Amino acid sequence: MIRHHHSTPQVPSRVVVLGASGFVGGDLMNYLREQRIPAVGVSSREIDLTQVESVAQLARLCQPSDVIVFASTITPDKGKDVRTLMRNLAMGEHVAEFLGKSTCSHVVYVSSDAVYDDTASPIREDSPCNPASLHGVMHLAREHVMAHAMQQAKIPVLMLRSTLVYGADDTHNGYGPNRFVRTALKERTIKLFGEGEEKRDHLYVRDLSRLIGACIVHRSEGVLNAATGHSSSFRGVADLVVACCPDTRLECSQRATTITHRHFDVAATLRAFPAMRFTPMRVGLMAMATTLGAKTAPSSTPLAA
């Protein structure tokens, strides 16, 4: 499902990150700087990809040797309706139109595991795509748009389908590590749906940046899932957060939905990048809690050593 155009890593002349002010794009920019990979970030304040003018703006900015990382998305916490769907699709349309008129050396599209059927388990790159949400429909549609445009332009493109991502700079506060750490620090409470039985794969944001970076320097093409291969229950995640943030209590609520689990088979990732190692969740959560704890008031919960 994935092949490398560079068998040995080659640093590109420049990486252009669309969505650089977002959670994923921002961490990727920091990682590229640390790796001394030339990069320029583009935020919606600079180029609004929902507007048709963005096509010409991208053409003026980008160069034929650039790698384009498309990480710009209006996330579900900002809207789950049809209007949000259409704005996201407009972004895909304009980026594809730009690439059809211009050129670059490589494209990485940061997609989501929401494209897969909810019943698929374990999830592999060839698992059925049958999204249950408009967010998943959007990503799958943008994947098809990008694939069509890149086939016409003869530019290699990688679809990187990410599972749930956590980290200190997350802006979405979704149920799981991101919300648990914040409420533990601010309220000394973690609220679970039911007993937190559901199992999910959670990816530390820096691991996602490292994986994107590996795909860039290998000029990888195809489809790849970004997941650790280890699913934890939300109760297990909450217990790890409690270990980081003492005096935090758990509150369980009556379950309103059926219990579902999601597991990944990451064999394709390990074959493509044998040296890839994922951050243990306890380590990622402690790093997140330490960073956020330093930003809170002195009266906030002290962190465990």
Query: Can you spell out the DSSP letters for 226-267?
Result: E--S-EEEHHHHHHHHHHHSTT-EEEEE---S------B--H
Distance CA 55, CA 60 (A): 9
How many CB atoms lie under 10 A from the CB of residue 80? 13
- The per-residue pLDDT for range 124-181, each reduced to its tens digit, is 999 999 999 999 999 999 999 999 999 999 999 999 999 999 999 998 889 999 999 9
* 302 in any annotated domain: no
- 77 & 173 share domain: no
- 218 & 242 share domain: no
* 273 in any annotated domain: no
- 21 & 157 share domain: yes
Q: How confident is the model at residue 301 (pLDDT cuts 50, 70, 90)?
A: very low
- 7 & 107 share domain: yes
With 60 as the cut, is the pLDDT of residue 298 above it?
A: no
- 172 & 216 share domain: no
- The per-residue pLDDT for range 233-272, each reduced to its tens digit, is 999 999 999 999 989 999 998 887 888 899 999 999 999 9
Give the CATH number of the domain where residue 85 resides: 3.40.50.720
- 236 & 150 share domain: no
Q: How confident is the model at residue 102 (pLDDT cuts 50, 70, 90)?
A: confident
- The per-residue pLDDT for range 92-101, each reduced to its tens digit, is 999 999 998 8
Q: Which bin fits 194, alpha (ψ -120 to 50), beta or left (φ > 0)?
A: left
- The per-residue pLDDT for range 13-54, each reduced to its tens digit, is 999 999 999 999 999 999 999 999 999 999 999 999 999 999
With 70 as the cut, is the pLDDT of residue 227 above it?
A: yes
pTM recorded for the entire structure: 0.94
- 257 & 193 share domain: yes
Q: Total domain count for the chain?
A: 2
- 17 & 116 share domain: yes
- 68 & 99 share domain: yes
- 150 & 24 share domain: yes
* 269 in any annotated domain: no
Give the residue numbers spanning the domain of 51. Answer: 2-165+203-226
**Can you tell me whether residue 116 is helix, strand or coil?**
strand
* 304 in any annotated domain: no
Give the CATH number of the domain where residue 191 resides: 3.90.25.10
* 267 in any annotated domain: no
* 270 in any annotated domain: no
